[in-house]
Amino acid sequence: MAETPMSEDTAAPTAYRIIHRPRYGTLIAACIAGFLALSLIVSIGGNANFQWEAVGHYLFHPAILRGLAITLALTAVVLLIATLLGTAVALMRLSSSRILATIALVYVWIFRGVPALIQLIFWFNLGLVIREISVVLPGFGTLFTLNTNDVLSPYTAAVIALSLCEAAYMAEIVRAGILSVPVGQEDAARSLGMSRRQAFWRIVAPQALSFVIPPTGNAAISLLKLTSLVTYVAVDDLFYAAQSIYARTFETIPLLVVVAFWYLAVVTVMSIGQGFLEAHFGQFDRRSRRSWSLPLRQAGAGLRNLWRAQ
Amino acid sequence: MSHGSTHAMISVRDVTKSHGPVRVLDGVSLDVEAGTVTCIIGRSGSGKSTLLRCINHLDVPDAGHVLVDGRFLGYDLREDKLHEVSEAVLARRRADLGLVFQSFNLFSHLTVMENLIVAPRVVRGLGREEAMSAARVLLERVGMGDKADYRPGDISGGEQQRVAIARALAMKPKALLFDEPTSALDPLLVGEVLKVMRDLAAGGITMIVVTHEMEFARDVADQLVFLEDGRVVEKGPPADLLDNPKSHGLQRMLSRAS
């Protein structure tokens, strides 16, 4: 008589070792990609035309570091103004007033629709269309008049242009964040006696923040790179500093490598910072619990993304 | 408390409400005596939820009005005219009515304890300690004393709904409104929420409960209201309606439910 499967089961060890099937395809692809990447690194590293010595020479050159400082300052100032202005535009867009909502809609339409470079050059050249800026109080006459070109230094023009443009993107980010909070949250808050304003600031806004932070991190990284456009209106940022050196010395490629290095370095730091912010303001549910290791894991993910993007 | 004296805690008078072209409520009138339980039944789309939202003016009625403890909720009566009150005044009066939602709607960024104390602190201006000691009593009452530091995402649906009831009670409302409080729950979790509601009813809190739980309605309700197409079709003691439905609509609904 054949043995029953039952007795076979009891005789066998309780824990079987699982042997995974080898993934030959993945292995071969990884070898090929690794080989190609290595050859690229070797050929670039060994290419004398890249002038690696010049890269080393200019990496911490005072003019480059000064340009970097201006790029960072410009990014910070523009991001701050754009966040405040963008939040205001988002609130207008969500307002029950049709007029406010339409103004916000048109604002986003224009400032998101026109290329940033064109907006930048427009503000830089505003003096051509509007020669004087006067503040007039009805009944008192003109209080004071300023020459447009005196007020609109290249730096001011750059801050205004980039802030207005970036605010249009921030408005959409903030609006999406507010709309991501379920309506029931506001209903519950108001049913407990909170006014619309209290319900918004106490209940909706803190939850919207966790939806707003990740895309804001992305926007900040885009903005950092976008600021390189100010070179065209003679603001002496990082790219401008590099350009003015290689215009003299013709060491174009090494200086572009220097600029790329600094942008990558700052973006890396920003990605890690974004990881910490997300961990702090993240969604308070099962999906991503607050924990000490989260920022590190997110930084790791950020670095991996960065690696993949190259 | 004073079960003998009968005064209407909530009076709904000819409330009409349309969403776009659809007339959701069509002249609903209703009286709920203090300390009694009114259950509202009706098929989905009959206007039950909208009625509750109109009672506490989360949805403002197009016509008609609501009196809570003898006072107009959204208006001041001056020279025979109802003047709309400001948002701030309406918000404060709305706190007299607690609302418990089908989908709980606990504040997901706050702990259970913070859910209970946020409104008493923001609206009533209570201190943190004062609000917390009151909240602890309420959490014990709904059997959630040991989960004060949990987040809504980390407790079951039945537990979330019990916390939501405690949160509504934390504002010391004059009446509680329940909008299908057990409809979003697993069958196994319905009992624990209904038990809390039975205890509250026994404690003499005025309640309006929109529900599909016919047994609960029969046992607990003093008044049963059948709503169809935004109109009150039948209303009376629950046993009368459930055992001798007069209208065609209620007959059909009960035969389908049993």
- pLDDT exceeding 70 applies to what percent of chain B? 97
B249-252 — which CB contacts under 8 Å span 24+ positions?
B250/B226
Q: Which residue of A has its CA nearest to B87?
A: A195
Task: Give domain status of residue A13, yes or no.
Answer: no
Return the residue in B96, B105, B138, B150 with the most chain A beta carbons within 10 A, the one to mutate for interface testing: B105
- pLDDT for A10 equals 57
Q: How far is CA A100 from CA A95, A105, A161, A200, B46, in A?
A: 7, 9, 22, 18, 36
Q: Tens digits of per-residue pLDDT, B201-241?
A: 999 999 999 999 999 999 999 999 999 999 999 999 999 99
Q: Which two tokens stand for residue A196?
A: 């619309």
pLDDT given for residue A181 in this prediction: 95
Q: What is the mean pLDDT of chain B?
A: 92
Q: Over the stretch B178-190, which tens digit does the pLDDT of each residue have?
A: 999 999 898 889 9
| B202 in any annotated domain | no
Whether residue A260 is predicted with pLDDT greater than 70 in this model: the reply is yes
Neighbouring-strand partners of residue B41? B226
**Total structural domains within chain A:** 1
Judge whether residue A75 has pLDDT over 80: yes
Give the pLDDT band of residue A49 (cuts 50, 70, 90): confident
- What pairs with residue B100 in β-bridges? B178
- What is the percent of chain A where pLDDT is above 70? 86
pLDDT score recorded for residue A286: 40
Range from A7-11, A121-125, B47-51, B72-76 carrying the lowest mean pLDDT: A7-11
pLDDT of residue A136: 78
Q: What pLDDT was estimated at residue A294? A: 53
Using the structure block, give the residue that is written with the tokens 């427009």.
Answer: A122
Residue A294, CA distances (Å) to A217, A274, A276, B150 in order? 16, 11, 8, 20
* pLDDT > 50? residue A195: yes
Summarised one tens digit per residue, pLDDT across range A22-39 is 888 999 999 999 999 999
Residues in chain A with CB shorter than 8 Å from the CB of B168 are: 191-192
Distance (Å, whole) CA B161 – CA B165: 6
Distance CA B116, CA B250 (A): 38
How far does A223 lie from chain B, in Å, by closest CA?
Answer: 30
CB-based contact B79:B29 (threshold 8 Å) = no
- What crossing angle do the helices spanning B157-169 and B128-141 adopt, rounded to 10°? 130
Q: Is residue A282 scored above 80 in pLDDT?
A: no
How far, in Å, CA of A15 to CA of B55, rounded? 62
Quote the tokens at residue B238: 């629950």
- Name residue B25's beta-bridge partners: B17
Query: B40 to chain A, minimum CA–CA distance in Å?
Result: 20
The yes/no answer to whether this complex scores an ipTM above 0.85 is yes
b/e map A254-267, b = 16+ CB within 10 Å:
bbebbbeebbeebb
pLDDT given at position A84 = 96
Question: Is A198 in Cβ contact with B171 (below 8 Å)?
Answer: no
How are beta strands B175-179 and B206-210 bridged, if at all?
Answer: parallel
Helix (H) or strand (E) holding A134: strand A132-137
What CATH number has the domain bearing residue A122?
Answer: 1.10.3720.10
CB contact at 8 A, A152 and A121: no
Q: Is residue A25 part of a domain?
A: no
Give the pLDDT band of residue A305 (cuts 50, 70, 90): low
Rounded distance between C-alpha atoms, residue A88 and residue B48, angstroms:
37
Would the CB atoms of A185 and B95 count as touching at under 8 Å? no
Residue A18 lies in a domain: no
The 10s digit of each residue's pLDDT in A207-253 is 999 899 989 999 999 999 999 999 998 899 999 999 999 999 999 99
Closest CA to B105 of B174, B31, B170, B157: B157
Residue A181 has which token pair? 């909070």
pLDDT at A289: 46
Given a contact cutoff of 8 angstroms between Cβ atoms, the answer to whether A69 and A235 are in contact is no
For the record, the structure tokens of A219 come out as: 């926007």
Q: How does residue B143 score in pLDDT terms, banded at 50, 70 and 90?
A: very high
CB B163 within 8 A of CB B143: no
- Asked if residue B149 is part of any domain, the answer here is yes
pLDDT at A292 over 60: no
Q: How far is CA B112 from CA A247, B118, B200, in A?
A: 64, 10, 20
Please check the confidence at residue A53 and state whether its pLDDT lies above 90: no
CB contact under 8 A, A285 and B58: no
Is the model's pLDDT at A133 over the cut of 80?
Answer: no
Q: In this structure, is residue A225 part of a structural domain?
A: yes
Residues A280-303, mean pLDDT to the nearest whole number: 56
Q: How far is A173 from chain B (nearest CA, A)?
A: 20
Establish if A31 belongs to a structural domain: no
Helices of type H across chain A: 5-11, 24-45, 52-59, 62-93, 98-113, 116-124, 126-129, 148-151, 154-180, 183-191, 196-199, 205-226, 238-249, 252-281, 294-309
Task: Judge: A284–B97 Cβ closer than 8 Å, yes or no.
Answer: no
CB contact A183 to B (< 8 Å): no
Chain B: closest CA distance from residue A154 (Å): 44
**CB of A185 within 8 Å of any CB in chain B?**
yes
Is A43 a member of any domain? no
Q: Is A190 on the interface with B (CB under 8 A)?
A: yes
User: What DSSP element (H or E) covers B166?
Assistant: helix B157-169
Domain that holds residue A104: 52-309
A309 — pLDDT class (breaks 50, 70, 90): low
pLDDT at B2 over 50: no
Q: Bigger pLDDT: A152 or A198?
A: A198
Number of domains chain B contains: 1
Taking Cα atoms as reference points, which of B158, B146, B64, B62 lies closest to residue B111? Answer: B146
Whether chain B has a CB inside 8 Å of the CB on A290: the answer is no
Domain membership of residue B42 (yes or no) is no
Residues of chain A contacting residue B106, judged by C-beta atoms under 8 Å apart: 188
A76: nearest Cα among A273, A254, A259 = A273
Contacts of B154 in chain A (CB under 8 A): 285-286
B250, part of any domain: no
Distance CA B253, CA B235 (A): 15
Residue at B135: amino acid letter: A
In chain B the beta strands, taken as DSSP E runs, fall at: 8-19, 22-33, 37-41, 63-68, 71-72, 75-78, 81-84, 97-100, 175-179, 206-210, 223-228, 231-236
Q: Is B88 on the interface with A (CB under 8 A)?
A: yes
For every residue of A78-127, DSSP letters joined together read HHHHHHHHHHHHHHHHTSS-HHHHHHHHHHHHHHHHS-HHHHHHHHHTHH
Domain residues for the domain of B166 are: 109-172
Tell me the count of A-B CB pairs closer than 8 A: 79
* Residue B164 lies inside a defined structural domain of this protein: yes
A254 or B3, greater pLDDT: A254
